[in-house]
Structure 1
Amino acid sequence: MTFLVFIFLLAFVQDGASDILTSSPIFGPRQVIGLMDGSVTVKCFYPTTRVNRHDRKYWCRETTRRCSTIVSSTGYVSREYEGRATITDFPENGIFIVEISGLRRSDMGSYKCGVGINDKLFYRVKLDVSEDSVMPGEAQLFYIKQQGTVTTSCTFGKEYANERKYLCRMAKTQCSTVIDTYGNVDPSYKGRVLLNHNEVPGSFNIFMTQLKRQDSGVYLCGVGSYGESGESKELNIHVYEEPSLPKGKVEQPLLKGVLNGSVSVECYYDPKGNVTLKYLCKWRKYGCTELINNFGDVLDSYEGRIVMHDNLENGTFTVILNQLQENDEGYYWCMTDGEQEKKSSTELKIIEGQPSLRGPKEINIIAGSSLSLICSYPCKYYSYNKYWCKWKNTACDPLISYEQNQTGLVVTCDQDSRILSLNFDQVAPTDQGWYWCGVKRASYYGETMAVYLRVQGVFPGSEEVLNAESSNDAAISMPGSKKANSHLSKSKIAAGAESPTESPVEDNNSKVLLSVLIPLGVVFLLLATIFAFVKFKLFKNSDRVSVASYRTNISLTDFENPRQYGAKENVCMEEAHETQLDGMNEYAITTGSPKEVPKKPKRGSKEEAEMAYTTFLLKSENISAISSSQQQ
């Protein structure tokens, strides 16, 4: 019974020791091979903490009871390896290098490279000595902290240019595919690994990011099929846990957005490093499509939807993507051409919900009109900085709030109604484009909303009018171009200008119109003249009406004063006063002297004609009587 307990405890201790070894932050090659009488170099990595930088580094050989030190950073070298073993520490880079020369067969065995004065922080390395003249290729080592990135180039001959490229992870008996050029991707690495073709035929690049402790292990990048054809190269990756992440630099493994809403992806880089290119790309099985970079290059389908803000002070660049759609789901990579670890991926998921910032998505307006773009925000953004900006491929710089800026635009915010407005006094053709409404707190860019302003029509004399006229003049110079002539006519009318030349079709139409309107006008004038002449003759010659055609009873009392029926009966009126009667538009005419005897009531025109005709008959009879008496 006691023996069984002892066996159990021994197994437990071994398991614990195994866990300690696995969790050790010290890392090196699993195996190194050197030629007889040759030399071998061993690289050992350790975290660059303050303690580790100044602590002892050592290389020892394992025996059944202990690990005998061969060489250490304190200057110790064992007698057997004097002149054959050296150790060099690089504390800034977190690495020390052990070199052993004059290799013998007795040097074969198990060794440890470690840090400290006790045997707790170490990594076990196997040393082999070969008598062959050809050395096998050594594994490429990667010492990466959690959430870091591995970047490597796998180069093979041109004869493999058309062969399958792959990355696989070694297990006991096989190598499981992580990603290949046939579109196969291990689900546990989806969105975290990239395989890009290199310019050199037969070579490719591998990127693996968001690394976890369980990603530590041996990988192979190769061409062809593992174990059957082609070549491969060993990659030994060790992922260690960083003691403390820099304040504020927390990775974003998952982002959530709603349809028509927006998200912000924050990316990190070393501002002191030699970083030139920064970009965001969308992951796919066969590569990563670049969406935007710091040089202003934007994918056409993302125009007006994406913008990059670079902050050189804290080493971050933020990419904002709005007008989210279902197909925007996926993995996005922050990429730089600087340090390997300054690459990361973020997964975006579209969930149900409504965007917080609301307003019109597209506005059509005529040039010269006034306009106010509105953006409503919820209470949760009450204390945030609100802004409007005009989108450009290089940036979306906020417009000046509450003051009129050089563009003639004014940004106002009504805190009571929670509306942010962008006001145009007079919209110009140059104002057409994308405008963003957004919120911001300190250096953090929050939600945004985009609206497209389309300006219709242009001001006379503007550059657009000149361009339109020149293009239309070119079109009209082509004979038989009805479409060009029609377009020219419309553009001239819209611009308020007259065409200097007319098309043959318009000439013929004008002639036909004139040939019809001129005769009609002549006839109308002729009829009006005849009517006026007849009317005038009718009144002038009314006293020549035939006696036989007019019969009436005439009384001499009606001719008390024939003069009052003359044409000058109102000649004495000195002044006329118009007075509105009973609210109607009628007027009473009074003379200038109130003591003058009122005149008799005015007769109608028919009555006047009858009196004039009677007077004429009386005069005619008197004249005929006088002439007959003279003849007698």
Structure 2
Amino acid sequence: MDKTMWIPILLISSLPVSGALWAKTNVRGVVGRAITIDCHYAAEYRPHTKLWCDCRWNPCTLLVATNGKHGRNGRMSITDNPARGIFTVTVEDLHSEDTGWYGCGITSVDHAIFNVYLKVSDVSGAVWAKKNVRGVVGRAIKIDCHYAAEYRSHTKYWCDWKWNPCTLLVATNGQHGQSGRVSITDNPARGIFTVTVEDLHSGDTGWYGCGITSVDHAIFTVYLKVSDEPVSTPVLRYLSPANVSRLGGSVSVSCESVNGSFPIHYTWFEKNDYWVSSIVSGNQLDLSCEFLTGQHRRYYCGASNNHGTKYSEILNVNIFKGAGTCSYVTEIYNAVSGALWAESEVSGVVGRAITIDCHYAAVYRSHTKYWCHETSRQCTHVVETNGKHGQSGRVSITDNPAGGIFTVTVVDLHSGDTGWYRCGITTPGQPTFKVHLQVSEEPVSVPTLGFLSPTNVSCLGGSVSVSCESVRGTLPISYSWYEKTPSVDSKISDNNTLDLHCQSFKHQHHQYYCTASNQLGTKSSKLVNVSISSSDTPCSFPVKINGTGLEYSCVTSKRSKYSSWITYIFVSGVTVLLLILIIAFFWYRKRKTKGSNCNTSHGEENNEIQDMAVLEGNYIDANLQQLGNNRAADHLDNNEGGITYAVVNCQRKSRSSHDVAENTVVYADVNFHRKLPKGIWKPHSTGTPENPESIYASVVS
């Protein structure tokens, strides 16, 4: 069919056709990445041609249409899935100028078309999230912030941008962080960090930022709207096995409004044909035979907040009493209403991972959660929680009772994973929620570049590594690095890392780029510019990644290095000087102490007996091999060779006040271990031992 014939048809109706065709009215994309739009249609349109058109100008212009089940035109592709009643439009390598109105269309008699507004934002491919999120007063909210692989090891943070600059609220310390009501958890394997805000307040409304501490200060703005909401219709759940009532046991039933602003107040009522009375204040009703009379009872629950009150369905109780026996049967008309919910349609990409969040009512916090694959006859369990976690092959499950969410993660998606699944809870009534997973092939996105090592080491001749990653597209993805030259571009490696060092440069200027390829095509990155300064040894080469702000100056780096070197020399010199002063001080103290231990004074004559003075109470022991030329030596000449050992005890007596002009008196006892020589006077003093083998001398100066 001639494409030009479709344009007049599109002009006939550019408004949604009730029940014929529908999609999300507003979708958001990111510059350089891909976006997928699902267009749903009624079964009667299965054999018809599906199309995607540009309605930013009048008339709408055809962009791509199905030829059979597939179609492609430049950056756009379209795939029809008649079995599901969905055709999917994929736009690759988004540009800012792609923002505007588009249309999902069907070539049919009623000219079915549905308008979609596409908003493309520029975040340089570093970090992205939902632009607008909504929360409810008193409840919790989770915001997932996605980031490129080169930021896996960087610190992630959440900041308040209601005022400028953005005020830090919480940051990862390792992979987790907590500050008051706000927490943050990083999952490097998935390239996502999750921010959780609990107990939301109306004042929390405003602009925030998902941020990464990096050279390019990567950040993405998110608008959080917190609103007051009325309660939802409360749902009733069994807290204990319902069948115990048949044996006369107790049964507990809970009441919970799963939506609406906190605080929520609950009241149980009993109803009969004539009146209604409140019987319990709280969200739990306990039933037992001893309190049940008659044959029939009816109960219901009310939930209220500052926006109003909603009432639950009726709980019917039928009582059977006999001689000494009692049993009863309880019945809730809608056993699983509102117990469990999730997104009914999710999309994944071959080779990558997907996460499905299943929300549940608080009453199921302690129950086992599971994920099952639905076939024509049954839902086969794939994985279930064992405690809070579970793993089976490529599928894992994690329960978060505090948040009322269990998360199913499927890694390394295959095309065959497409199909129907269910979030489930093992409890009476077996509440489940149906989810359709669509896994499709996707071309690579424009690869993003980032520094893997400290950049300014290149200013001193060090190596710098640059990473290349396509964050979207079917895996596996192959990467190659090329050097751009005036003649022909030459391949230099077949991996996603470029290592730059002095030995690899032959010219003053070099340019490099990376390519990412899968089976659906190839995309090229921005240019990496390297400038080499030949005056430096070994070399200096600042690196710049075009269009990303990832660059630096070697002038600053060198000055900083020079300043650091001067500081190092100064601190080292001061430290050495202090050590020298400390050693000199202790050496001086030691010399001074040694010199004061024993002071000697001499008389006027050379043969005067030497006086030894020490501090009062101190003693000196000495081995004397030979005496000098004095009187004692003369007397000892006849004493078999003289003195072989002597003990000299010196004591100094303080001067009296009237003897200040006289020399200090020193008393000394000299003990010679030989026979007493003739001519030596032996003093007799109290306490002196009478030993014929010793000589005692008193020396007075």
TM exceeding 0.5: no
TM-score, length basis structure 1: 0.27
TM-score, length basis structure 2: 0.25
- Which structure carries more helix by proportion? 1
* Larger radius of gyration between Structure 1 and Structure 2: 1
- Which structure carries more strand by proportion? 2
